[in-house]
Structures are given as C-alpha cells and as structure tokens.
Amino acid sequence: MLRGFYTAASGMISQQRKTDMLTNNMANANTPGYKAEQGSLRAFPEMLLQQLGTSSIPGQELKELPYAKTIGTINTGVYLQETIPNFTQGYLRETGLHTDLALLDVAVPNNEGLFFTVQSANGDTLYTRNGNFTIDGQGYLTTSSGHYVLDENNAPIQVGSGQFTVNSDGTVLENNEIVGRINIAYATDTNTLIKDETGMLRTENNQALPSANTNQGIIFKIEQGFIEGSNVDTTQTMTDLMTSYRAFEANQKILQAYDKSMDKAVNEIGRLR
C-alpha cells in the first residue's frame, strides 16, 4: 500500500517537471534562436522480489533447508531523467535590420552544432544562436544583453555605425574595409553544452569550442537582416502539455484512491467494537 503512494507521487512529480519544461518552451516560442527543451522519463531501477522460507527433507523431519523462490520484478516509480535542447535549425525571419544576423547550417554533421561566440562582462566565453544583435555606445557589436560578439581572434568587433555589412562567410565590412570576421564555433557533441539561466550556452570547465571558420567539413552561411526563430513546434507542445496534464491527473486520482483505502483500513477495519 505504501509503495503505491510513492509510485503515484513520483509520477506526479515527474509530470509536473515535464509540464514546467513544456511551459518554458511555449513562453520562448518567439525568442530568436531559442532551442526547445526535450525531456525523457525513466523508471527507477526494478526490484527483484523473492519468497524466502524453509522446507523439510522427506524422512528427516528435523532437517530444514532454506529456499528462495523468485516471484518477479516490481517497479518503484518514474522520474524526469534529463532535459536536452533540440538543436535543429529554426525558421528564418526577415527583419531588414543591419544588426540582425541569422546563422544558417548548410552542411553540419549529425549531433554537431554551430554558434555565435560572445563574451560576457566577466570575460567568460559563451555561445548562442540568437543573432538579435545591437551596437553599444562605443560602436561594438553586442547581444541584447550586452555581451560582445567576438571575431576569429576572440576580440570584440567594433563596427562604428549601424551601416556595416556582413558577408555570408561572416566577414564584417565598414565603409568597404574589413574590420573582422565573426567567429562561428562548433560543438562536436551538443549534448555536452550547458545552458545557463539567461539562455546562453557554455562548455564544461569553460573550455573554448573550436572555430568552424577554417573547418572544411562544415559549411555555414550568415544572412544579414534576418534572425533565426525558435524551433518550438507550438502545436506539438500544446498536445504534449495536455498529455502531461492528463497523466498528472491520473496519478492524482490513484493517490486519492490509495488515501481512501488507507483511511478505511485505519478507521474502520481496525476499529474495536
């Protein structure tokens, strides 16, 4: 009986966490460069049940031998194992702004990803697909949160005015003079990247990702005046939200049924008359 409480409760907790993940995806459906989170539910390790006892040997009544009879396995609940971003390409939306840049994956191996390289205020190297950039007071190209966009030498790119151009290979020109080339980093395994609370990506131990600018096996294209939208499928996300809610509700009903059974066992069956 008590095991049923824990099993139903674990189902409710896992569905609640999945609902939070899906709700966050819906909230960022219009965020440029946002990558939808995917969650996987996993059962706790199964327990093997055995019946322990003793049996008498025929003709030797005083001789008892222990035995263990296998009954089967029992599951102890479920949990949300992990959430992993889906790094598939989002749709491109034209804005006409010089500061908006979209990174287009032309030829990228499976499970690898391309990112803009930016620098935070404390000097950490971060990565993003959000190309909704702007220009700060000193004429540097930055993200909307103030992170510097870095070139191939990991230096901030100073564009001066907003009338700069960016070629498809990331070369930045101001008054027809090259001022730098945007450093596009690539991750050989996107599952190793860590997303922080601001949506920026970082590597484990803050190790720098290699540059894709000189990698012959990777082909990318930068579109100026476009931004990459999120890859959230709102229709599928709403369907998954309803499914998760119904699963939570089903576990809740089971928990209530267990509670009523326990109440009857304690207050009625065990009552002395």
Dihedral over alpha carbons 240, 241, 243, 246 (to 10 degrees): 170
Spatial CA neighbour of 218 closest among 87, 111, 108: 108
Domains of the chain: 2-46+77-83+233-269 (1.10.287), 92-228 (no CATH)
Amino acid identity, position 227: I
Helix (H, G, I), strand (E, B) or coil at 269: helix
**Measured at the alpha carbon of residue 63, what is the angle toward residues 60 and 66, in degrees to the nearest 5?**
135
Give the integer Cα–Cα distance in Å for 79 and 10: 6
Amino acid identity, position 174: E
Helix (H, G, I), strand (E, B) or coil at 180: strand
Q: How far is CA 134 from the centre of its chain?
A: 27
Within 10 angstroms of residue 95's Cβ, the number of other Cβ atoms is: 16
Enter the pTM of the model.
0.77
Asked if 124 and 97 touch (Cβ cutoff 8 Å), the reply is no
Asked if 140 and 180 touch (Cβ cutoff 8 Å), the reply is no
Spatial CA neighbour of 160 closest among 135, 131, 185: 135
Give the integer Cα–Cα distance in Å for 98 and 132: 10
pLDDT of res. 113: 87
pLDDT of res. 21: 93
Helix (H, G, I), strand (E, B) or coil at 30: coil
Spatial CA neighbour of 72 closest among 104, 50, 94, 41: 50
Written as six digits, the tokens of 86 are 């889906």
Helix (H, G, I), strand (E, B) or coil at 73: strand
Residue 60: phi and psi, rounded to 5, are -130, 80
Give the integer Cα–Cα distance in Å for 218 and 195: 23
Q: Give the CB-side neighbour count of residue 230, counting CA atoms within 13 A.
A: 18
pLDDT of res. 81: 77
pLDDT by residue, tens only, the chain of 273 residues: 577 788 888 889 999 999 999 999 999 999 999 999 988 887 766 666 666 766 666 665 556 667 667 766 666 778 787 788 888 889 999 998 989 999 998 888 777 889 999 998 888 899 999 999 999 889 999 998 889 999 999 899 998 876 789 999 999 998 888 999 999 999 888 888 888 878 899 988 888 899 988 888 888 999 999 999 999 999 999 999 999 999 999 989 988 888 888 887 777 775 655
Asked if 136 and 142 touch (Cβ cutoff 8 Å), the reply is yes
pLDDT of res. 246: 94
Q: Going by C-beta distance under 8 Å and a sequence separation of 6 or more, which residues neighbour residue 211?
A: 152, 183, 184, 185, 186
